[in-house]
Chain A
Amino acid sequence: GAVVSQHPSWVICKSGTSVKIECRSLDFQATTMFWYRQFPKQSLMLMATSNEGSKATYEQGVEKDKFLINHASLTLSTLTVTSAHPEDSSFYICSARLQQGSTEAFFGQGTRLTVV
């Protein structure tokens, strides 16, 4: 299967600082990537759809100014959590599809963010 790599795997940051998470498709080009957040024992909640070369589409209730998404190339999307607070501590996961109409999405290994 296709490989999606996410970096870092875990990060601890202080309140008020910003953290950038990278999502890369290693062996395919992804025009669309998806960012999810998962709290303990909860489902994956879609935060936003990242589109290469254009603005991301955010789900209702997700602050676009707080969660900055950049999809500058066909193999890289980044999520920046700005002015992080302890309640932003969560597991962030990206995914990508091989192509339009493909049913299967491939997930990155996730990033465990802890804000202290």
Chain B
Amino acid sequence: GQNIDQPTEMTATEGAIVQINCTYQTSGFNGLFWYQQHAGEAPTFLSYNVLDGLEEKGRFSSFLSRSKGYSYLLLKELQMKDSASYLCAVRSGGSYIPTFGRGTSLIVHP
């Protein structure tokens, strides 16, 4: 099975930078996703990492270290609309279907 761990809740200030961590334990790692989910809505795709390193996409960046079983999502220049749940999902064992973590609820305040 897989064990995916991420903080339950984080708060940050508008305009600041926040880093959301995700650790996982799995065999046959085959990719890690980050999704954003606003309350009552479906998740939207943010990033996909399969190799070690940092991938930057606008205000959002995602980092992966396969040897450490660790990833983070970095959000810069936070905006109020970034208040949402951020889901880490890991694909492994030859399956193309990812397993989701519980999500981190990010609250951005003025």
Contacts and interface: CB of A to CB of B under 8 A. Distances in A.
A16 B20 CA distance: 42
Interface string B64-104: 00000000000000000000000100000000111111110
Contacts of B29: none
A97 B41 CA distance: 18
A93 B40 CA distance: 10
A110 B100 contact: no
Given A43-B102, A103-B48, A104-B48, A112 B97 contact: no
Contacts of B98: 105
A109 B42 CA distance: 5
A46 interface: yes
Among A1, A6, A103, residue most surrounded by chain B Cβ atoms (within 10 Å):
A103
B42 A43 contact: no
A107 B43 contact: yes
Interface of B: 4, 8, 31, 33, 40-45, 48, 87, 96-103, 105
Given A43-B102, A109-B42, 5 more contacts: A43-B101, A44-B100, A93-B42, A93-B43, A107-B44
